Copies of this chain bind each other. A is one copy, B any other.
């Protein structure tokens, strides 16, 4: 897989801030990409099981989407419009409504809050507080919602929270589904805290959650848990916000990650792959009765990124019928059976399966094994990242459109890496840990 030496990282070391992170794990200079493959400047090839952290569900340089963007540009289509009306936005809105909302019997007003996930979350928290006149938002252990102060306050990761340099307020953290094992129903815990006037937890403006926690370690909320949370929210007139920035756009198998549970959030945050082509775009979907914004009460210079609208609309073609959903399911099954097979190879208790759909992974009892595995993978031309509070999960999240043969090849590399790890006998079973 490796054709040549890696290119030098010198320019980055010299000119870019110390905050850079992924380029420290993937120590090469990438230059080209298509579908699920990437090449570095020395023509080394890589299979991409990371997919821009979920921004590239339709693959790199998806040719159908690219054609639309390039044509639009060459025809002098508006690129940047703040929130003025444009044909590109009009067309996207109409298509999004017809392709996504109507068939799912969902009615939302669409807000463009600035083109990143954290912008969407900030706007969701603002409107929930405005609607209810309340201050607190309930978030969950190991949630990730963004890095600006409002969304960071709802993010569990202590390392990232500490970066704020100020106290983060307005949120209370509750245990996510399964946080205390199978015997503790964490919705009951939340209910008790909300219904006891002496609990110290005020009735919140909103509950914000991811149906699968990606950064948090591929924790999957059950259908029942999601329904119970929704019921609890309805009972207390609390807004339910689903942050579908990473899990939306098909990552878990359906367009919205919450479809399977049959819940109807009051607010949905979308970003990452909604831009279709890796272009910055974000949407905040708001139940019409809660769309009580005053004009310009939240804004952002790039909320009208029209290349994003064009790409986003083009990408919606994948959702015209259910073939894409079936396709994802097939690949997800393939990943799952491979992972199960790999788990069998390893000492009992040393690793377990995490995740769902096209975001699955291996959670190691010895956290550092996850990094070792990803490091081995990169050496062999496979790009994978870790997640979880202890970076203990090695995560697979290829583009949804990955070709079966490439998926197969990637899984093969992964298997080789697991074999090597296992051979080193570095893996420790649960009993021994």
A residues whose Cβ falls under 8 Å from a Cβ of B:
9, 11-12, 15-24, 26-34, 38, 41, 52-56, 60-61, 66, 69-70, 73-87, 89-90, 93-94, 96-97, 109-119, 122-123, 125-126, 128-130, 135, 139-143, 146-151, 153, 155-167, 169-173, 175, 179-180, 183-184, 188-189, 192-193, 196-203, 205, 216-217, 245, 271-272, 277-280, 284, 286, 291-302, 305, 307, 388-390
Interface centre among A54, A147, A307, A388 (most CB of B within 10 A): A147
A172 is contacted by which of B56, B172, B179, B299 (Cβ under 8 Å)?
A: B172
Cα A295 to Cα B44 in complex, Å, equals 25
A279-B278 Cα distance, complex, nearest whole Å = 13
When the two chains form their complex, are residues A197 and B159 in contact, meaning their CB atoms are under 8 A apart?
Answer: yes
Enumerate chain B residues within 8 angstroms of A113, measured Cβ to Cβ. 19
B279 touches A86 (CB 8 A): no
Residues of B within 8 A of A173 (CB): 172, 193, 199-201
Q: Which residue of B lies closest to A202 (CB)?
A: B158
- CB pair A17–B109 under 8 Å, yes or no, is yes
Partner of A30, one of B12, B78, B165: B78
**Separation in Å of the A273 CB from the closest CB of chain B?**
10
Query: CA–CA, A164 to B19, complex, Å?
Result: 28
* Additional A-B contact list (18), CB under 8 Å, known A122-B147, A159-B296: A11-B94, A18-B292, A21-B296, A22-B84, A30-B78, A30-B87, A32-B78, A38-B78, A139-B200, A141-B200, A148-B148, A156-B198, A156-B199, A156-B200, A157-B198, A158-B202, A169-B169, A197-B389
Known: A30-B84, A90-B12, A295-B24. A301 touches B52 (CB 8 A): yes
Contact yes or no, A165 B77, CB < 8 A: no
Q: Are B297 and A115 in contact (CB under 8 A)?
A: no
Partner of A171, one of B116, B200, B279: B200
**Contact yes or no, B198 A189, CB < 8 A:** no
8 A-B residue contacts at CB 8 Å?
A15-B93, A27-B85, A29-B86, A32-B76, A126-B163, A147-B299, A173-B193, A280-B280
The residue on B at minimum CB distance from A25 is B84
A109–B298 contact, CB under 8 A?
no
Question: What separation, in Å, do the CA atoms of A172 and B166 have in the docked complex?
Answer: 14
Closest B residue to A272 by CB, please name it: B301
B74, A115: Cβ atoms closer than 8 Å:
no
Q: Which residues of B contact A198 (CB under 8 A)?
A: 141-142, 156-158, 216-217, 388-389
Q: Please indicate the chain B residues that have their CB under 8 angstroms from the CB of A60 in the complex.
A: 76, 78-80
A77 touches B32 (CB 8 A): yes
Contact yes or no, B115 A15, CB < 8 A: no
Q: How far is the CA of A116 from the CA of B82 in the complex (A)?
A: 12
Chain B residue nearest to A308 (CB atoms) is: B280
- B contact residues around A143 at 8 Å (CB): 200
A32: B residues at CB distance < 8 A = 75-78
Given contacts A110-B15, A122-B148, A141-B200, contact A52 B80 (CB under 8 A): yes
Given contacts A26-B84, A173-B199, contact A19 B295 (CB under 8 A): yes
Instruction: Give the CA-CA distance A136 to B342 in the complex, in Å.
Output: 43
- Selected contact of A19 from candidates B141, B149, B197, B297, CB within 8 Å: B297
Q: Sorted from nearest, which 3 A-B pairs have the closest CB atoms?
A: A129-B165, A80-B278, A173-B200
- Selected from B18, B30, B135, B280, the residue in CB contact (under 8 A) with A295 is B18
CA distance A38 to B82 in the complex (A): 14
Highest count of chain B CB atoms <10 Å: which of A32, A117, A200: A200
Are B53 and A164 in contact, CB atoms less than 8 angstroms apart?
Answer: no
Cα A29 to Cα B92 in complex, Å, equals 13
Q: Hey, which chain B residues are within 8 Å of A128, CB to CB?
A: 165
Q: How far is the CA of A216 from the CA of B297 in the complex (A)?
A: 16
Say whether B114 contacts A147, CB under 8 Å. yes
A260, B86: Cα distance in complex, Å: 38
How many angstroms between the C-alpha atoms of A156 and B133 in the bound complex?
Answer: 20
Query: Which of A135, A149, A158, A271 gathers most chain B CB within 10 Å?
Result: A149
Partner of A22, one of B55, B61, B82, B169: B82
